[in-house]
């Protein structure tokens, strides 16, 4: 039996939380990924980080995300893993950036052959759930089996641990 990978994108700093701009010491998706790791101790973890850091200010980050998405950008990512061959199951997480995953997630996805892999997607958001992220994920990962995803209201992530545990067991 193959191994499990938790791959996620998360942004600390200025974020939208319940309509207010607040400074987070850790991004909501990272907290969710840490909970998954707690329940799947032998899983490997990879944080998807763009080489060019996102703007610190929320409004600037949102504007950049919008430009990157409309240009269908694939930003280079730091220290990307070389292969996913040893993994059977990949938990894939990120925040909802304008109805889908951040573009750096697609840079990561498009590096690999997903045939026969099982993807368990999770997303953090402030009211928009998955948007079109699941459709975009399926298009980027032909041949993968995409399981039911978990949508997490970002402001509530710290209270979501029990739901994450139940979702993992599905």
Query: What angle, rounded to 10 degrees, do the helices at 28-39 and 161-169 form?
Result: 50
Q: Which residues pair with 16 in a beta bridge?
A: 21
Q: What's the predicted TM-score (pTM) here?
A: 0.96
Look at residue 124 and give its three-state secondary structure: strand
Task: Say if residues 61 and 55 touch (Cβ distance below 8 Å).
Answer: yes
| pLDDT value of position 1 | 61
Task: Say if residues 120 and 89 touch (Cβ distance below 8 Å).
Answer: yes
Euclidean distance between CA atoms 88 and 118, whole angstroms: 6
Beta strands in the chain (DSSP E): 3-8, 13-17, 20-24, 44-47, 87-95, 118-125, 145-146, 150-153
- Percent of the chain as helix, strand, coil, to the nearest 5: 30, 30, 40
Q: What is the mean pLDDT of residues 67-86?
A: 96
Pairing of strands 20-24, 13-17: antiparallel
Euclidean distance between CA atoms 90 and 11, whole angstroms: 20
Q: Is the pLDDT of residue 5 over 90?
A: yes
Please write the tens of the pLDDT for every residue from 20-73: 999 999 999 999 999 999 999 999 999 999 999 999 999 999 999 999 999 999
Please, what are the domains in the chain?
3-169 (3.40.50.360)
């Amino acid at each position: 039996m193959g191994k499990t990978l938790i791959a996620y994108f998360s942004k600390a700093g200025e974020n939208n939380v319940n309509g207010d701009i607040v400074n987070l010491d850790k991004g909501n998706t990272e907290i969710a990924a840490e909970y998954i790791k707690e329940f799947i101790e032998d899983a490997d973890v990879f944080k998807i980080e763009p080489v060019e850091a996102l703007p610190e200010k929320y409004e600037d980050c949102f504007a950049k995300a919008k430009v990157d998405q409309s240009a269908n950008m694939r930003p280079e990512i730091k220290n990307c893993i070389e292969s996913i061959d040893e993994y059977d199951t990949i938990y894939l997480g990120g925040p909802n950036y304008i109805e889908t995953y951040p573009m750096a997630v697609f840079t990561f996805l498009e590096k690999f052959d997903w045939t026969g892999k099982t993807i368990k997607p999770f997303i953090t958001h402030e009211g928009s759930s998955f948007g079109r992220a699941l459709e975009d994920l399926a298009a980027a990962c032909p041949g993968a089996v995409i399981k039911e995803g978990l949508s997490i209201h970002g402001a509530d992530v710290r209270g979501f641990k029990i739901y994450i545990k139940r979702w993992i067991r599905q």
